[in-house]
Amino acid sequence: MPISAASVKLKRFRQRFGINAPRVAVRTHVPWYWYALSLVVVFALALAVTMWLYEPDARLPAFNPDATLDEIALLKKNVAELSEELNQFRVLSKTTESSFQIEHTLRQQLSSHMKQLEVENAALRQDLAFFETLMPSSMQTDEGIKVNHLRVEPGDIPGEYRYRLLAVNSFGRQTKEIKGNLQLFVEVRQDGKDAIITIPPESEPVPQRFHFEIKYFYRFEGAFSLPEGAEIKSVEARLMQNGVVRAKQSVSL
């Protein structure tokens, strides 16, 4: 029994002062009147700040209603002025853009007109070159009508071609008027086969634009279209009179 009691006491001693002993917190003792004094100081500071904020002569500028209203009015005025300037810049930008578009359109029209004038000038030069040789040829013995300056060029639309030729009546001094019509024989290749397209078709009445009355010269200008997939090879222009070919000229493309 004595051994058992000693063991129990030793065990209790270890529990109190050993590793498994409960933790003990050591705190400094502060008298109660210091707590009371701290509360009084905090309350006094809060009261002083509150009185200072709400004192009419000691208000912060941010809490002045009149000053705030004035600043708001000034800001509204500035916003209105900026909005008006923005609208003016928008109008000016639209006007400038419209001016640029008009100028661009005028330049395109002028460029197109200049190209057309260049084409017409080249055609007139060709006619002039031909007319310069017309008088000597009229003194020769080969009299009759003939085709000169046949030209065929692609048009602006796919499958469209424009033609131009000059028909001349060279009967010398005894020139007499000749009436007839123009026919175009267009050789094409389509679906691996060669074919001839007659313009205007022989089975249809001849349009007025293909008729001619020549005393000295007559100029033909026009356009024709080919079927889709047809590849043009050559064009032959024929001047017909009462179903008889009086003159012809061909050009390869």
Number of other CB atoms surrounding residue 79 within 10 Å: 10
CB 239 within 8 A of CB 247: yes
Of 123, 171, 172, the residue nearest 148 (C-alpha): 123
d(CA 178, CA 169): 8
CB 170 within 8 A of CB 144: yes
Domain boundaries, the chain: 2-52, 64-132, 143-252
Question: What is the per-residue pLDDT across 48-85, written as a single tens digit (0 to 9) for each?
Answer: 777 666 555 444 454 556 667 777 888 888 888 888 88
d(CA 172, CA 174): 5
Does the pTM of the predicted model rise above 0.85?
Answer: no
Q: pLDDT confidence of 103, banded at 50, 70, 90?
A: confident
Whether residue 99 has pLDDT greater than 70:
yes
Whether residue 141 has pLDDT greater than 60:
no
The residue ranges of DSSP E strands in the chain, in sequence order, are 144-154, 160-170, 178-190, 193-199, 211-214, 217-225, 231-241, 244-252
Of 207, 225, 234, 252, the residue nearest 161 (C-alpha): 225
Whether residue 142 has pLDDT greater than 60:
no
Token duo for residue 104 = 């661009």
Q: Write down how long the chain is.
A: 253
User: For all residues of the chain together, what is the average pLDDT?
Assistant: 76
Question: What is the per-residue pLDDT across 22-53, written as a single tens digit (0 to 9) for each?
Answer: 565 555 555 666 667 777 777 777 777 776 66
CATH class of the domain at 143-252: mainly beta
Residue 243 three-state SS = coil
User: 217-225 and 231-241 as β-strands: parallel, antiparallel, unpaired?
Assistant: unpaired
CB 159 within 8 A of CB 225: yes
**Residue for token digits 């923005």?**
86
**Residue for token digits 């063991």?**
7
Q: Return the DSSP state at 116.
A: H
